[in-house]
Amino acid sequence: MPKVRKPKSGWPRLPKPRRFRKAIRKTGLPPCPECHSYSMKRDELRSEMYCTKCGRTL
């Protein structure tokens, strides 16, 4: 093993591969089973989710 001097600036860091985030974004809600769009919203009052596109509730 050849001895390698550590550069003054430090070892070069390899850029970590950025993984694309899943389609579940800020909301963390699953897609609508009816229209498959990520427009589900949570109804706080009834503690259930509803779709803003087709109006389906879960």
Residues in touch with Zn ion (CB under 5 A): 32, 34-35, 51, 53-54, 56
41: tokens are: 């919203």
**Of 17 and 28, CB closest to Zn ion:** 28
Please provide residue 7's backbone torsions phi and psi, each rounded to the nearest 5 degrees.
Answer: -65, 155
Distance separating alpha carbons of residues 13 and 17, to the nearest angstrom: 12
CB of 38 to Zn ion, least distance (A): 10
Instruction: Name the minimum Å distance from CB 23 to Zn ion.
Output: 15
Closer to Zn ion by CB, 34 or 48: give it. 34
Spatial contact of 21 and 34, defined as CB atoms under 8 Å apart? no
